[in-house]
Amino acid sequence: MTRTYSLAYLSSHRCTPAEAIGVAAKTGYSFVGLRLWPNAAGAPQQHLLGQPAALRETLAAQADTGVGVFDLEIIRIGEQFDPHTWDALYDAGAALKAKAILVAGDDTNEARLTDHYARLCEVMKPFGMTADLEFMPWTAVKDANAALRIVQGAGSPANAGILVDALHVGRSTTTLEDIRALPRELLHYAQICDAQAGLNFTTEQMVHTARCERLLPGDGTIDVQGLFDALPADLPVSVEVVNFGREANTSVLNWAAECLAKSRPFVER
């Protein structure tokens, strides 16, 4: 089955939003993912919020190419949480017709995190996007079971979602049975990459791999094939491969094309 592919932010982090859309159009992707809000204060991002000219340029690129915006990054739910902090992100998502916002959970008080997630879903409801909670082993949502517990504890809102990233499956206690047990209605897309699998990495090592040194599918030891066999066959795929060393020797265009070419054999069947 052919898939819908999105060029993730980390695969095109050298691009502005409009440039990423152009690269996606030239290399076979139907969508892009954009990081319009950094994952930490001062961390890398694509600048569009509060910049009307950048938004107009991005909308024009969409109109010219037909490439859509799939997901936006990132909302982090900490101990202190006000969902209206991200009002500008919701507005941009609505303008770009984005489908999802990626959410990370950092609050180790699971009851409070669950309440805040439910509130986020409520606030996002008018904007037409899902709130996709990504489990990551160094966060408070460490595996697929934790993500499911939080979403169900929040009442499984209609715009709730769980994001499955191959890297975090390979480095958490998540099993393929856990993936198969995720309700289909909570799955909106999945992220593909590879790395060395295992449970003995430090937080610093896991974060470094995630943000700087992922591998192309097939170049590591994560069971990428098993994962995508366990996921729904029609699930859109976000190709998320960042590798600063490899990228230094190739153009963004060639990197995006190689990432897609290496991903296809694992998800098309």
Structure confidence by residue, pLDDT tens digits, 142-191: 999 999 999 999 999 999 999 999 999 999 999 999 999 999 999 999 99
Inter-residue contact 238 to 12 (CB < 8 Å) = no
Percent of the chain with pLDDT over 90: 97
The rounded distance, in Å, linking the Cα atoms of 170 and 198 is 6
At 269 the pLDDT is: 75
The rounded distance, in Å, linking the Cα atoms of 94 and 100 is 10
Mean pLDDT of 207-233: 97
Mean pLDDT of 205-216: 97
pLDDT at 2 over 90: no
Domains and CATH numbers, the chain: 5-267 (3.20.20.150)
Percent of the chain with pLDDT over 70: 100
Note the pTM of the prediction, 2 decimals. Answer: 0.96
The rounded distance, in Å, linking the Cα atoms of 215 and 149 is 30
Number of Cα atoms under 13 Å in the Cβ half of residue 165: 26
